[in-house]
Chain A
Amino acid sequence: DVVMTQSPLSLPVTLGQPASISCRSSQSLVYSDGNTYLSWFQQRPGQSPRRLIYKVSNREFGVPDRFSGSGSGTDFTLQISRVEAEDVGVYYCMQGTHWPTTFGQGTKVEIK
């Protein structure tokens, strides 16, 4: 199985400051069709996960533009340009290129 490794696992951030989460995969996530099936999910406390980003850098409808995704191959990043209070939660990267789908361990974002 493809192992997804996130860092850091805990990320205290000051309101209004940027935040960055890294995700590395044990194999390239480029699929045979040329797409890279790397997604980012947000899970707020007590809620079901919600997909923010798909195929590395595409924001879901309704996701604020302070969230952005980048990367290629095996290295990916989720950035929040200015953290707001509603961004508190756990963020997961997920790969859908290789079977089975696997997730990173999660990064807990909290306000300092």
Chain B
Amino acid sequence: QVQLVQSGAEVKKPGASVKVSCKASGYSFTDYYIHWLRQAPGQGLEWMGWINPKNGGTSFVQKFQGRVTVTKDTSTSTVYMELNRLRSDDTALYYCAQGDSFDYWGQGTLVTVSS
């Protein structure tokens, strides 16, 4: 069955970087885009962007451009999302989701940014 398993919770200081992983299984890794979304505490869902695991192409909304780097490792079917220059308002649960229909989601990775 399709599964997306994300890395564990992180606590970072403002200005630091965080790298969240999303390991896919149960399907052909290169067949579906992986999307990244986040949810601040008690808030709604915010779509961040995607990576095409076939060629590594990415597209992210402007507010994250220049701060986010997403890469993939086809040998392990894993996608990595690195967010730099963290601010307190980056504190959120970060999700990966499969395909443009968001059929399958990871369990979420809590990133806490605090001094």
- Which positions in A face B, CB cutoff 8 Å? 39, 41, 48-51, 54, 60, 90, 92, 94, 96, 100-106
* A106 & B102 in contact (Cβ 8 Å cutoff): no
Segment touching A, from B16-24, B66-74, B78-86, B105-113: B105-113
Known: A48-B95, A102-B47. 5 other contacts (CB 8 A): A48-B105, A48-B107, A94-B45, A96-B100, A100-B49
Establish whether residues A103 and B102, one from each chain, have CB atoms under 8 Å apart when the complex forms. Answer: no
Number of interface residues of B (CB under 8 A): 15
Chain A residues, CB < 8 A from B103: 51, 60
7 tightest Cβ-Cβ pairs between the two chains A and B: A48-B105, A101-B47, A103-B45, A106-B44, A100-B61, A105-B44, A103-B44
Bound CA span A92–B47, Å: 13
The residues of B with any CB-CB pair to A shorter than 8 Å are: 44-47, 49, 61, 95, 100-103, 105-108
A82 to B38, CA, bound (A): 31
Whether A100 lies near B47 (C-beta < 8 A) is yes
Q: How far is the CB of B9 from chain A (nearest CB, A)?
A: 14
Q: Are B61 and A49 within 8 A (Cβ)?
A: no
A-B contact pairs, 6 of them (CB 8 A): A39-B102, A41-B45, A100-B61, A102-B47, A103-B46, A106-B44
* Contact present for A49 and B46 (CB under 8 Å): no
- A51 pairs with B102, CB closer than 8 A: yes
B49 — which chain A residues lie within 8 A by C-beta?
100
Contacts of B47 in A (CB 8 A): 100-103
- The reply to whether A49 and B44 form a contact with Cβ atoms under 8 Å apart is no
A94 CA to B101 CA, complexed, in Å: 10
CA of A50 to CA of B108, assembled, Å: 13
CB distance from A92 to the nearest CB of B (A): 6
The residue in chain A whose Cβ has the minimal distance to the Cβ of B103 is A51
Given the complex of chains A and B, what is the CA–CA distance between A39 and B103 in angstroms?
11
